[in-house]
Amino acid sequence: MTKSQRTTAPPSPPVLGPRALSRATLARQLLLSRSPMSATAAVEHLLGLQAQNVKPPYYALAARLDGFTPEALSRPLADREVVRIVTLRSTIHTHTADDCLTLRPLVQAARDRELHHFRAGLAGVDLDRLAVRARALVEEEPRTMKELREALLEDWPDADPQALSVAARCKLPLVQITPRGLWGRSGQVRLTTAERWLGRPAEPAQAPNATVLRYLAAFGPASVKDMQTWAGLTRLREAFERLRTRLVTFRDENGTELFDLPDAPRP
């Protein structure tokens, strides 16, 4: 082999150990030092905060933001700039209004798969008709899950009541209206559609490229599987591959490929 025929193997991606990865995640999560961001900006940067109960989002922001007070989150919730809705991993999250209208369609395929676990209780139920009926009910007036179940049972008396309410939650972007979620206030979980509460339509489901970039900004460096677990989605490899030329790659100590934004903090 002549010198001109020799090829040089591409350099191996740098390896990031547990400490490096942990500190990078803490930096992205605004946990290395308190941030001057507003509560709404932090919720947007973090792509939402898990909110199965009312108080955890407040605690999460108090740990991250300089000078945070509960009113800083209660106010945008009351003003409908931030909402509580089932999105990622079939759990309630606090999202900005914009993210509610874009992330919920992105995870719709996962919500459709969730319904397979309830198919026995939904035998004979036309899910498209159920979605139309449930939308009419909650847009007529916000309803509790119990009220929604009872109304749907009038149309499908032989169905499992819990399965009917789960189907409505999976087929529709149902938000929890205030005062639920406000600090120091109480209230039943009452539901209406995101479109009705926010006064504008949801965005059509789009390729997840932009969400991949935002995920890495908040959670990177990360593997494809990391994001799939976070979102409760599958088949995100193609999106990462489309973005590969815009990203940098690393390996963890187990050899797993990690992706990241070139200029993101890796302290």
Distance CA 135, CA 193 (A): 7
Cβ-based neighbour number of residue 129 at 10 Å? 11
* Each residue's pLDDT tens digit, 25-40: 999 999 999 999 999 9
Whether the per-residue pLDDT at 8 is higher than 90: the answer is no
* Each residue's pLDDT tens digit, 169-225: 999 999 999 999 999 987 899 999 999 999 999 878 778 999 999 999 999 999 999
Rounded alpha-carbon distances, angstroms, from residue 1 to 6, 185, 198: 7, 78, 68
* 3 state SS of 92: strand
Average per-residue pLDDT for the chain: 94
Whether the per-residue pLDDT at 13 is higher than 90: the answer is no
pLDDT at 5: 54
* 3 state SS of 34: coil
pLDDT at 38: 98
DSSP string, 137-177: HHHHS-B-HHHHHHHHHHH-TTS-HHHHHHHHHHHS-EEEP
Confidence band for 1, pLDDT divided at 50, 70 and 90: low
Rounded alpha-carbon distances, angstroms, from residue 235 to 26, 201, 240: 27, 27, 10
pLDDT at 129: 97
* Each residue's pLDDT tens digit, 77-114: 999 999 999 999 999 999 999 999 999 999 999 999 99
Whether the per-residue pLDDT at 247 is higher than 70: the answer is yes
Helices vs strands, H then E, count in the chain:
13, 7
For the chain, give every domain's residue range: 209-260
Cβ-based neighbour number of residue 246 at 10 Å? 12
pLDDT at 11: 73
Distance CA 72, CA 185 (A): 15
What's the predicted TM-score (pTM) here? 0.91
Closest C-alpha to 60, from 83, 87, 35:
35
